Amino acid sequence: MSLDPYQIRKDFPILSRILPNGKPLVYLDNGASSQKPQSVIDATNQYYTNDNANIHRGVYYLSQHATELFERTRIKTSHFFQAQCAKAIIFTRGTTDAINLVAQTWGRTNISEGDEIVLSVQEHHSNLVPWQMLALEKKAFLKFIPIQEDTTYDLSNLNEIITKRTKLVAISQMSNVTGTVHDLTRIINRVRQVGAKVLVDGAQAACHMPIHLVDMDVDFYAFSAHKMLGPTGVGVLFGKEEILEAMPPWLGGGDMIESVELETSTYAALPAKLEAGTPNIAGVIGFSHALDYLQKVGMKNIKEHERMLTEYALEKLNRIGGLHIYGTEDLDKRGGVVSFTMDGIHPHDVGSILDEEGVAIRVGHHCCQPLMKQLSIPGTCRASFYLYNTKEDIDALVHSIEKVKSIFGRVARK
């Protein structure tokens, strides 16, 4: 059963917005953050209006009810992603926070001088800078999986990159720049051969396709709620239970302790040990309703819808002269992202003119400066799609790009 984006759009109030310049909003920046359905908006309002209380501490009704709603989301998240168990789901502030948690707890405990951490050249800064910091502190070495011309991973020298000195491989499943979706099977198999651990940055993949964490056999998987219809300020770290159990806490404070003396403390069991302080309760509860919405639509349907939009966009954009598209042409290895540059026109100029037409895209280096350096460009224009986007949105994008060419053509002729 395919999804109906026109029916879905009715559930997202912002998509009917008319911008101050009188143009209707065409939202194509889903790689940065998704819009929210009314059910998620209502759920967060409901919490603050009727259920607001701190969790895990109170014996009174409101606290117990808020705790139940919060923990129900943890169980729902575990089921949605087919994780090992609910205790293996740790709520964080986002993907960045989740990766830093692993770096500061598992990394500081297990990475020693001379060890190797393997990344790829196309990682988001969130999955690069924390490991740079840890490697500097521990005197460890960073190694990188290169990419091929079509931006898929180049695994030809994988055995030389991932060795017995490798302690961790931290890689993204889907590029936030090109939309390239990577088959991680060979990488994970090699990780198991050398006895290392693997962390997958799922910030882009988790919102666009079915994810079965146990089947993937990853040690850590990180993603954000706000990219999958949920509120900002909520992320998830999945970790294998036995690994999380062995990790020390990162942040100290309330809710992560079992008992506290003046000079020593003992720590709570999972997941509380890794969730110090008052969390984003309303955001987590809102995320529960985002998962409900995605479950109802179906992740396979979302993946197929985005494939259709991507194919349509590539067909239209490839007809525009002087426009260069990055990423693989294989739609089986590509998600709903199209990054491009235009000859002689800076991405920021493209983005500004598209904004005048109501078309919202992302321009710049997309927190992937090493990848931009390898591609020898300052940045790209990125259009990214989701379940509520339509062919008409693509048409509006194409029309606006043609307007960019027209404007700069007139400037050049002067």
Cite the active site residues: 367
Alpha-carbon span 7 to 9, nearest angstrom: 5
**409: Cβ–Cβ under 8 A, 6 or more apart, which residues?**
none
Alpha-carbon span 224 to 139, nearest angstrom: 30
Q: Choose among 134, 200, 211, 144: nearest CA to 170.
A: 200
Helix (H) or strand (E) holding 144: strand 141-145
Contact 175, 339 (CB under 8 A): no
Cα torsion 319, 323, 328, 333: sign: negative
3-class secondary-structure state, position 214: helix
Alpha-carbon span 247 to 273, nearest angstrom: 9
**Structure tokens, 200:** 């997958």
Contact 276, 257 (CB under 8 A): no
Look at strands 166-172 and 197-201 and give their pairing. parallel
Contact 213, 85 (CB under 8 A): no
